[in-house]
């Protein structure tokens, strides 16, 4: 039987939409849903982000933590913290949105 392993600590370059960094170790015993996305990815914008928001709306009262992990795989020049902040707060106000 395979033994479950603990998730590694976050390696985050900047944190957005949260008053302080979230310590993954402090979340032990709690359901944490992490979703990797890119703000210019059509599939992420049309599918992943709405699903992430729906999970948050459905399960936040039960203590589920939803974490959006912004990853950059193209258009590196456009992927600044300022751009992501505007995207997250104006178009898609995801709970606890982060940039990696």
pLDDT higher than threshold 50 for residue 1: yes
The CATH homologous superfamily to which domain 14-99 belongs is Glutaredoxin (3.40.30.10)
pLDDT higher than threshold 70 for residue 86: no
**Could you tell me which residue, 11 or 32, shows the higher pLDDT?**
32
| Average of per-residue pLDDT values in the chain | 78
Give, rounded to a whole angstrom, the gap between the first and last alpha carbons of the chain. 33
* For the chain, domain boundaries: 14-99
Q: Which helix (H) or strand (E) holds 84?
A: helix 81-86
pLDDT tens by residue, 11-25: 887 787 778 888 888
Average pLDDT over residues 61-88: 75
Place of tokens 């709306």: 57
**CA–CA distances in Å: residue 55 to residues 17, 18, 26, 81:** 17, 18, 21, 25
User: Checking DSSP bridges between strand 14-15 and strand 32-37, what pairing results, if any?
Assistant: unpaired
Give the pLDDT band of residue 64 (cuts 50, 70, 90).
very high
Q: What is the DSSP letter of 17?
A: S
């Amino acid at each position: 039987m395979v033994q479950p392993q603990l998730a590694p600590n976050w390696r985050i370059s900047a944190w957005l939409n949260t008053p302080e960094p979230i310590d993954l170790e402090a979340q032990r015993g709690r359901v944490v849903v992490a979703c990797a996305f890119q703000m210019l990815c059509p599939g992420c914008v049309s599918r992943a982000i709405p699903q992430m928001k729906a999970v948050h709306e459905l399960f936040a009262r039960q203590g589920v933590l939803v974490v959006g992990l912004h990853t950059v795989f193209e258009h590196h020049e456009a992927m600044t913290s300022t751009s992501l902040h505007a995207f997250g707060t104006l178009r898609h106000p995801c709970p606890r949105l982060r940039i990696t």
